[in-house]
A and B are shown apart, each in its own frame.
Chain A
């Protein structure tokens, strides 16, 4: 059992009472790099698309951002179309490929509930709910009752940031 002191400094999610229940596989050694501040200003879906100013969600009341051409459904197909509008295409795995940016949709009962984006070093970055975004070394460490254990991979050419 890990102590909160083992986790990266500022990772407030680990102090939640049910943290170990939510992420039974996650260990301090899975989390590397710097954390962001906790915020509600963007969510994991926006963060997977490298957006940190909006929340992306296909809510039926048209409150949150969602691409115009994509149905406002919380289905796998709708999320694939939404990320497809940014140039992502479904692919078979999350292996690191040079010049390719990959994302992974975590599905629970067939519905996407979380997303992570691959970094150039092969690690993944995740925004946890209203908490921090964290760099983690693999995708499986977040498997559990909240994010499920089914993944949909998508990829596009990695943008060069100057």
Chain B
């Protein structure tokens, strides 16, 4: 008997449904009976066989995080490649890859903070994305435009909100 998806059961001789659909029984049919006794007993067996032959990708939290991080890295690389000669933040932040990073939402925040922390004295242009995702602005007025002070303010905010590990 061919294997099918575990969600589907092959109709067997025990099915009350005739091949000619127009001659189906009238009225409600009990659900367990529609599967047929043979199909019901073999369902678990089918599932086991199906799983043995079909690799199943289980998205654990760790897997999801590494996939998201890889996506962030790929988008960041694409973005950096295209904005090298630009100074205008509108040009820099409206790049499609940067917009996709923003679109990843709060899941990308740990990677953004990690990246920001790793860049030290020359932080990259992550401030727009951080502000857009968090809807916060921890940068004091006197620090606007001073990227080292901006990074410090954002990393402090990240620590307070659990995105950056305490040193």
Chain A residues engaging chain B, CB cutoff 8 angstroms: 13, 16, 18, 22-23, 39-41, 43-46, 53-57, 59, 61-66, 74, 111-115, 127-131, 146-147
Contacts and interface: CB of A to CB of B under 8 A. Distances in A.
B85 A22 contact: yes
Contact of A64 (B89, B122, B124, B132): B89
Contacts of A44: 87
A160 to B, nearest CB: 26
Contacts of B84: 13, 16, 18, 22, 129-131
Contacts of B93: 59
Contact of A129 (B83, B146, B147, B150): B83
Contacts of B122: 39-41
Given A128-B85, A129-B85, A46 B145 contact: yes
B111 to A, nearest CB: 19
A128 B87 CA distance: 7
A39 to B, nearest CB: 7
B131 to A, nearest CB: 4
Given A13-B85, A128-B85, A64 B145 contact: yes
B157 to A, nearest CB: 12
Nearest to A53: B146
List the 10 shortest-distance A-B pairs measured between CB atoms, nearest first. Answer: A65-B145, A54-B145, A61-B131, A43-B87, A44-B87, A74-B90, A63-B127, A57-B89, A129-B85, A64-B145
A115 B90 CA distance: 15
Say what secondary structure dominates the interface of chain A.
Answer: loop
A63 B148 CA distance: 12
Say what secondary structure dominates the interface of chain B.
Answer: loop
Contacts of B141: 62
A47 B128 CA distance: 21
B109 to A, nearest CB: 15
Contacts of A128: 85
A144 B84 CA distance: 14
B139 A63 contact: yes
Contacts of B90: 57, 59, 74, 111
A112 B88 contact: yes
A61 B137 CA distance: 7
B88 A113 contact: yes
A50 B160 CA distance: 36
A59 B91 CA distance: 11
Contacts of A40: 122-125, 147
**Which of B89, B123, B131, B148 has its CB near the most chain A CB atoms (within 10 A)?**
B89
Nearest to B132: A61
A22 B85 CA distance: 8
8 contacts: A40-B124, A53-B146, A54-B145, A57-B88, A64-B145, A114-B87, A129-B83, A129-B84
Interface string B131-142: 110000101010
